[in-house]
Structure 1
Amino acid sequence: MKKLLFTITVFAMTITMNAQEKKGITLTVVIENVLNDEGHVLSALHNEATFMKAEGLETSHDKAEAGELILTFENIQPGEYAFSALHDANDNNSMDFEPNGMPKEDYAMSGNSMPMGPPTFSDAKFTVEKEDMQLTLRF
């Protein structure tokens, strides 16, 4: 019985140590130029599968405050990602559009590409490798 208990304990410790080895990087996102304190800033980290299709892999819902917003995401694994942010000033949890299709609310996207029409993952993507990183986006 003692041998079985010892084996189970060693196995559990091995699993715990292996899980700790998979720790990813810290991604800091600085969103500049939040114009006012109305509503919330909604943001999301996406991979290609979720970009413009589903909720992000990591999301944030923060009270808007004029100036700069700093977000931190921990344990991000290496790969290609895109980041989006929306200043949802009226708190309806969606982007509002003018009749001509232009957004009414401020938004930002990694890659700093502002195409006419919806952004693409290839325009917005960035690569996470082994070092912590910072993105700066501007509304």
Structure 2
Amino acid sequence: MTGSTISALRPIAALAMGIAFTAFAAPAAAATITITVTDLRSDEGVVRACMTTMEDVFPRCARDPNSHRTVVRADDTITIRFENVEPGDYAIALLHDENEDGKANRVLGMAPREGYGFSRDAPVRMAPPDWDDAVFTIGSASQNLTIKMRYFL
């Protein structure tokens, strides 16, 4: 090969190496969040779990298209995993939907009839907890959390 041919090939070789290195670059950091749910009063129904980054929709994650949500059968102890969770600030809400009707049933329209739980064991007073009481930060490392179910009745 002549010197001019080698010079012409250098940009192509550099581009090919750049593509090769990009293909093997580490993926964006994403964590696994493992939640152990305790103190269910029965193994009836399901536990609905959601995790959101949106303060204005918490604890009703259905309005967040990017929320992590799942439904698992109720049991003595439940483990829930959310995979590929991007770093950020999140809050978790759980509902023990004992009659599996998809909603949080209430007594006299106010007090919850079914169990509930929130990240950071956020307190429930006369309404669902504030975002600031439930929010926690997820980085690139996986985390294990425990959420205790609570029942008003």
The normalised TM-score by structure 2 is 0.75
Q: 1:114 deviation in Å?
A: 2.1
Read off the aligned partner of 2:112 and give its amino acid letter: P
Q: 1:131 deviation in Å?
A: 1.8
The normalised TM-score by structure 1 is 0.81
Q: 1:123 aligns with which of 133, 136, 152?
A: 133
* Residue of structure 2 in register with 1:26 after alignment: 32
Read off the aligned partner of 1:122 and give its amino acid letter: D
Please, what is the CA RMSD of the aligned residues? 2.5
Asked if the contact 2:117/2:147 (under 8 Å) is kept, the reply is: yes
Asked if the contact 1:48/1:121 (under 8 Å) is kept, the reply is: no
- Distance in 1 (CA, whole Å) between partners of 2:19 and 2:90 is 34
* Residue of structure 2 in register with 1:79 after alignment: 88
- Distance in 1 (CA, whole Å) between partners of 2:78 and 2:53 is 22
- Distance in 1 (CA, whole Å) between partners of 2:69 and 2:148 is 18
* Residue of structure 2 in register with 1:61 after alignment: 71
In structure 2, the gaps of 5 or more residues are: 1-11
* Residue of structure 1 in register with 2:99 after alignment: 90
- Distance in 1 (CA, whole Å) between partners of 2:132 and 2:77 is 27
Aligned residues: 133
* Residue of structure 2 in register with 1:135 after alignment: 145
* Residue of structure 2 in register with 1:70 after alignment: 79
Q: 1:53 deviation in Å?
A: 4.5
2:114 is the alignment partner of 1:105: yes
In structure 1, the gaps of 5 or more residues are: none
Q: 1:48 deviation in Å?
A: 2.2
Read off the aligned partner of 2:118 and give its amino acid letter: M
- Distance in 1 (CA, whole Å) between partners of 2:115 and 2:92 is 15
- Distance in 1 (CA, whole Å) between partners of 2:60 and 2:146 is 23
Compared with structure 1, are the counterparts of its residues 97 and 26 closer, same or farther at alpha carbon in structure 2 (3 Å cutoff)? same
Q: Provide, for residues 72-96 of structure 1, a one-character-per-residue CA deviation record: whole Å limited to 9, x for no partner.
A: 1111111100001111000100000
- Distance in 1 (CA, whole Å) between partners of 2:94 and 2:24 is 35
Q: Provide, for residues 103-129 of structure 1, a one-character-per-residue CA deviation record: whole Å limited to 9, x for no partner.
A: 000010112122321222111101112
